[in-house]
């Protein structure tokens, strides 16, 4: 029996929402690394004088 119309689209929408959430989490992690890298670079430059 075929699934009711629109059910596949609903599943794709949910999948897209999950992908978007994971992408946002990944970007947040990358931004955190970028901040830490910038701080380390400043510290390194300060040490070098």
The Cβ of residue 21 has, within 10 Å, a number of other Cβ atoms equal to 10
How many domains is the chain partitioned into structurally?
Answer: 1
Q: What is the mean pLDDT of residues 7-22?
A: 80
Domain span including residue 17: 7-49
Return the structure tokens found at 20: 């978007």
Structure confidence by residue, pLDDT tens digits, 20-45: 999 999 999 999 999 999 999 999 99
CA distance 17 to 24: 11
Q: Is residue 48 in some structural domain?
A: yes
Q: Is residue 1 in some structural domain?
A: no
Q: Determine if the pTM surpasses 0.85.
A: no
Which residue carries 């629109």 as its tokens? 6
């Amino acid at each position: 029996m075929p699934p009711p119309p629109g059910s596949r689209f609903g599943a794709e929408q949910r999948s897209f929402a999950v992908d978007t959430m994971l992408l946002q989490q990944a970007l947040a992690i990358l931004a955190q690394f970028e901040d830490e890298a910038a701080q380390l670079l400043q510290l390194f430059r300060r040490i070098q004088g």
